[in-house]
């Protein structure tokens, strides 16, 4: 079976794209966005691993001037790899703004699909072709999911497993997301969907941003599928997870729920796919 996936020119949905092509084997037409803060210990290895799986993909690292020199390491690696780019942001403002800047920069080169993933090997590069193939099978957004059959977390203490699982269920229930893993950050977006999803300013800046983006996709009427992933704990470096970040997400879902649709996504053009509220 050919791995070159032609999007339907007549898909009509929010993320349809005439003639756009995603190659789930080489990664042509795909940009992988990787945010980093103090990930120098593992950044070289993750970039090499992603490159080995998707030789033709563009890789964009979004670094917030990491004091440990992650940005410099990426810049040095980019001299050997013309499809590796560094976006160096002047200051740390949270994961959400870093991702949105990265997404906007990635979209300027008109890829067919944009992948988001962490730098710490919790998001295993071998899942990339499966996420891309889900887009080829008709999804607008493929979520790497720990909480569907075949997925799961590894090496996490039970408290973290419980918090993550319940947090995801809670966010999904409050916002009607209809997904099992609303907080994961290993995702593959059809570009036209992502373009619409990053128009309005973010409400949640930390890890709640992942929930907000899943909600925006729902408001835009996206076809969302969950692809099972096993999620090991980070291999190297330090976690950026804090109680304040969890609290932002817990309270933030209510903020999202009461916001008018127009604060989160652009007005739907007439005749577009259903799914808005
Ligand atoms: N640019 C940027 N990247 C960030 C920021 N915070 C986290 N990251 C990156 O986002 C990814 C996820 O952060 P992690 O600390 O691994 O968060 P996590 O996966 O939820 O937590 P652990 O399971 O403990 O690793 C990593 O690649 C981080 O380096 C930030 O403020 N700015
Ligand atoms: Mg991590």
213, part of any domain: yes
Q: H helices of the chain, where?
A: 40-53, 70-78, 95-107, 128-136, 158-175, 191-197, 208-219, 243-258, 261-264
Across the chain, mean pLDDT equals 88
Q: Which ligand is nearest to the CA of 239?
A: 1
Over the stretch 140-187, which tens digit does the pLDDT of each residue have? 999 999 999 999 999 888 988 998 899 999 999 999 999 999 999 999
Q: Number of folded domains in the chain?
A: 1
- Show the domain range for 191: 20-258
160, part of any domain: yes
What is the CATH number for 89?
3.90.550.10
Q: Output the CA 229–ligand 2 centroid distance in Å.
A: 14
Q: Using CA positions, which residue lies closest to atom 5 of ligand 1?
A: 95
211, part of any domain: yes
Does residue 85 contact residue 78 with C-beta atoms inside 8 Å? yes
- Cα 70 to the center of its chain, rounded Å: 20
271, part of any domain: no
Confidence of residue 239 (pLDDT cuts 50, 70, 90): confident
266, part of any domain: no
277, part of any domain: no
pLDDT at site 7: 35
Q: Which of 32, 35, 62, 117 to mutate to test the pocket of ligand 1 (most atoms within 8 A of CB)?
A: 35
C-alpha closest to that of 102 among 140, 142, 64: 64
141, part of any domain: yes
Task: List 23's β-bridge partners, or say none.
Answer: 4
Q: Using CA positions, which residue lies closest to atom 32 of ligand 1?
A: 95
Residues with CB under 6 A from ligand 1: 35-37, 39, 62-64, 92, 94-95, 98, 118-120, 122, 207, 233-234, 239-241
Percent of the chain with pLDDT over 90: 74
101, part of any domain: yes
């Amino acid at each position: 079976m050919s791995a070159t996936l032609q999007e339907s020119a007549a898909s009509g949905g929010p993320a349809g794209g005439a003639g756009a092509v995603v190659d789930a084997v080489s990664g042509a037409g795909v940009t992988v966005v990787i945010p980093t803060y103090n990930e120098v210990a593992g950044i070289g290895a993750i970039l090499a691993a992603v490159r080995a799986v998707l030789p033709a993909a563009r890789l964009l690292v979004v670094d917030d001037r990491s004091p440990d020199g992650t940005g410099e390491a990426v810049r040095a690696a980019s001299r050997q790899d013309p499809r590796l780019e560094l976006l160096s942001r002047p200051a740390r403002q949270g994961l959400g703004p870093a991702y949105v800047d990265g997404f906007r920069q990635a979209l300027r080169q008109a890829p067919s699909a944009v992948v988001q993933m962490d730098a710490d090997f919790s998001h295993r590069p071998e899942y990339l072709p499966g996420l891309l193939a889900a887009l080829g099978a008709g999804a607008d957004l493929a979520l790497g999911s720990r909480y569907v059959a075949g997925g799961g977390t590894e090496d996490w203490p039970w408290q973290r497993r419980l918090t993550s699982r319940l947090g995801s269920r809670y966010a999904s229930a409050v916002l009607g997301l209809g997904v099992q893993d609303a907080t994961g950050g290993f995702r593959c977006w059809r570009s036209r969907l992502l373009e619409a999803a990053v128009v309005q300013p973010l409400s949640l800046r930390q890890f709640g941003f992942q929930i907000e983006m899943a909600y925006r996709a729902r408001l835009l009427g996206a076809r969302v599928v969950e692809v099972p992933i096993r999620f090991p704990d980070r291999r190297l470096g330090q976690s950026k997870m804090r109680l304040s970040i969890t609290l932002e997400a817990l309270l933030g879902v209510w903020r999202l729920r009461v916001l008018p649709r127009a604060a989160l996504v652009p007005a739907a053009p007439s005749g577009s796919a259903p799914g808005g509220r």
